[in-house]
Chain A
């Protein structure tokens, strides 16, 4: 069975949903950050698949930019996590509800 575009897109969609579910459900900030990475990578799969099947390089270029930005994003996310932990001594998102309403 040859792999078609649809296979890649379904894989990407499943990973995307897993990522969203992780962001919505996991309490630990580190896992939330990992889920965010999952979202980005699922999109990268979709972009790369489109690029391959359309025979068009734009998507591949996009993936390179996206991976770079995701790396920067992860760095900043971890930095913020450290700041949060120092200030609040917790790494659980549901303990951060000082501001509301």
Chain B
């Protein structure tokens, strides 16, 4: 445990070395440094995890404090890490998946001229992500929270010469800032209300011990504000708009930041605050509703996308929605479990899509792909494993985690959430296999030049794919309900969620029902796959009825298709409702400045000429001061008061002596 500081420090070291001297080093060395620090961090994480497992289950919550970070009056924050099952699982995911993606990046980004800069950012991102999950108080978490946002912005806009990339970076930054604003307001409110109780602290432990004393109304506001932060970071409605655009970044970045780790920070945060949210179940309901709505909403948009990465982006938003639905209904274990399996299979699919894009020479439109299976077998097979996992086919990992979420929702009586979740699962299976069929099967629709160059990716890219495919396939094991007390994952995570999670479903009666539910969700998934295959899989197409063809559907539901294809016009609506009004307001201010203020100034000049007996300047300054408000007032005062400084020594002495006299009179008489 004492070496836990190495986990974030190693990536920081890598980022520093690559950032400072990376441009002078050969690419091989840069890649080696970046990967080595990640591998080392992963090893330390495993050791930490192992040591944690050695402790008895009730004692698995260790705070390692390094130094007092900020201390001012009664307010003090330590730089300290909290190691418990939740953070241990998170560091394993972050360093493990992160390591694989670093290795993959050495192949994928090999020809980029700013290779060192990329590696530096990626390491830095991992550092901040680890601070986020390891911190034992809100401030350390916030440090990581802001840091990952910064790295995300830097990496989305990595190819900043491309306007769309830098625009997407800015959009991500601005939208995240809205969320962060909510988050920090929530923290202020939390600290403030705890200070009133005499327990002003940002330490998780102290906070959770005292939180039940806070007025529930204030607690509700805190919970909602924190959720605004989570919604921004984890791309939930209505703040999801940045994530699809974030696909402008390099594909490994999409895999690491915008699928596996950073976007799940919101889920982690809500899970970490389970003690808070369990006190305010109505906020949990709001979170679950927002989550499941996001899941459905994003899935519908995913149905019609043609960009290979956009499909994955919408599916990420949708899967994050599932996780929020889970943590919202109080099934924190299920949510975190889905977070983990999602990191495996979505990381895998993004890397797979990156491999495809690499082979296609940068082409991302699935309409120009097809038949890639024969050219790149490893990519194709691993991608299909990922698709099966996300579609919820047993025995792949996604099945166990998704099913657990649906089951818990059902069991806790949230039937609407269950039903929508099931529908979304069907859609997920549909669009994922639409993607598989369009990309890997059928005739290749690329031009001859691209076709000629089709090749499997280098081993630095395929090996991470294979490892992630294995994890996606078997990662669900810990979620199989073998034990009476629930799954292995539950057993492990339970101590963290002891405040939050309602008692477990161990009654045998439910066993049969649970099996039926599993059957239903598998059937729904299979239906989705079947429908997709009728539309897009060549050997199946001939069995499809005439109304079930892509063109036929598109033409008979023209309006709906256009709505989905244009992503509900959400960006346009935001432009109309938010961006344009602000622009118009700015224009209005400008015209106000030009018209009204200038008019006032002109009027003032005219009035001054007219009233020759009055002191000219006085009038201008008064009128000017009225219209230009504070800043002019200050500047005006400034120029008036500076005249006190006449330059004459004896005036200075006079001010001095008068000052002394005033003070003496004030003190002796007053």
Residues of A within 8 A of B (CB): 20, 23-25, 27, 93-94, 96-101
Contact call B657/A24, Cβ cutoff below 8 A: yes
Knowing A20-B657, A24-B657 touch, does A97 contact B646 (C-beta < 8 A)?
yes
Q: Which residue of B lies closest to A98 (CB)?
A: B647
Closest to A95 in B: B648
Tell whether B508 is near chain A: CB-to-CB under 8 Å: no
Decide: B647 and A25 in contact? CB cutoff 8 A: no
Q: Does B617 contact A (CB under 8 A)?
A: no
Report the 4 A-B pairs with minimum CB-CB distance, sorted nearest first: A100-B647, A97-B647, A93-B649, A101-B642
Within the complex, the shortest CB–CB distance from B643 to chain A, in Å, comes to: 7
Q: Is the Cβ of A94 less than 8 Å from the Cβ of B642?
A: no
In-complex Cβ contact of A94 among B643, B645, B650, B657 (8 A): B650
Are B645 and A101 interface neighbours, CB within 8 A?
A: yes
State whether the Cβ of B662 lies closer than 8 Å to any Cβ in chain A.
no
Complex alpha-carbon distance, A63 and B657, angstroms: 24
Interface pair A24/B648, CB less than 8 Å apart:
no
Residue ID in chain B nearest A27 by CB atoms:
B650
Interface residues of B in 602-657 (CB under 8 A from A): 642-643, 645-650, 653-654, 657
In the bound assembly, the distance between CA atoms of A81 and B385 in angstroms comes to 92
Contact at B645–A24, with CB atoms within 8 Å? Answer: no
Complex: chain B residue closest to A96, CB-CB: B649
Selected A-B contacts with CB under 8 Å, 28 pairs? A20-B657, A23-B653, A24-B650, A24-B653, A24-B654, A25-B650, A27-B650, A93-B648, A93-B649, A93-B650, A94-B648, A94-B649, A94-B650, A96-B647, A96-B649, A97-B646, A97-B647, A97-B648, A98-B647, A99-B647, A100-B645, A100-B646, A100-B647, A100-B648, A101-B642, A101-B643, A101-B645, A101-B647
- In the complex, besides A24-B653, A25-B650, 9 extra interface pairs with C-beta distance below 8 angstroms are A23-B653, A24-B657, A93-B649, A94-B648, A96-B647, A97-B646, A100-B648, A101-B642, A101-B643
With a CB–CB cut-off of 8 A, which chain B residues contact A94?
648-650
Q: How large is the interface on B (under 10, 10 to 19, 20 to 34, 35 or more residues)?
A: 10 to 19
Query: Distance in Å from the Cβ of A51 to the closest Cβ of chain B?
Result: 24
For A98, what are the chain B residues with a Cβ–Cβ distance below 8 Å?
A: 647
Contacting residues, chain A, for B649 (C-beta < 8 A): 93-94, 96
Check A23–B646 contact: CB distance below 8 A.
Answer: no
Instruction: State the Cβ distance, B658 to closest chain A Cβ, in Å.
Output: 10
A25 and B653 alpha carbons, distance in the complex (Å): 10
A15 and B650 CA atoms in complex are apart in Å by: 19
Q: Which of A24, A25, A93, A97 has the largest number of chain B CB atoms within 10 A?
A: A24
Min CB gap A8→B, angstroms: 21
B664 to chain A, nearest CB (A): 13
Chain B residues contacting A100 (CB-CB under 8 Å) are 645-648
Closest Cβ of chain A: how far from B420's Cβ, in Å? 71
CB distance from B26 to the nearest CB of A (A): 59
Nearest residue (CB) in A for B649 is: A93
For residue A23, which residues in chain B have a CB less than 8 angstroms away from its CB? 650, 653
Docked complex Cα distance between A94 and B650 (Å): 8
User: Which residues in B have their C-beta under 8 angstroms from that of A93?
Assistant: 648-650
CA distance A101 to B654 in the complex (A): 16
The distance in angstroms between the C-alpha atoms of A96 and B649, with both chains bound, is 8
Chain A: CB-nearest residue to B643: A101
C-alpha spacing A22/B266, complex, angstroms: 74
- Kindly provide the distance from the CB of B637 to the nearest chain A CB, expressed in whole angstroms: 14
With a CB–CB cut-off of 8 A, which chain A residues contact B648?
A: 93-94, 96-97, 100
Q: How far is the CA of A23 from the CA of B645 in the complex (A)?
A: 18
What's the least CB distance linking A17 to chain B, in Å?
10
Please name the residue on chain B nearest to A21 by beta carbon: B657
Question: Which chain A residues lie closer than 8 Å to B646 at the CB level?
Answer: 97, 100
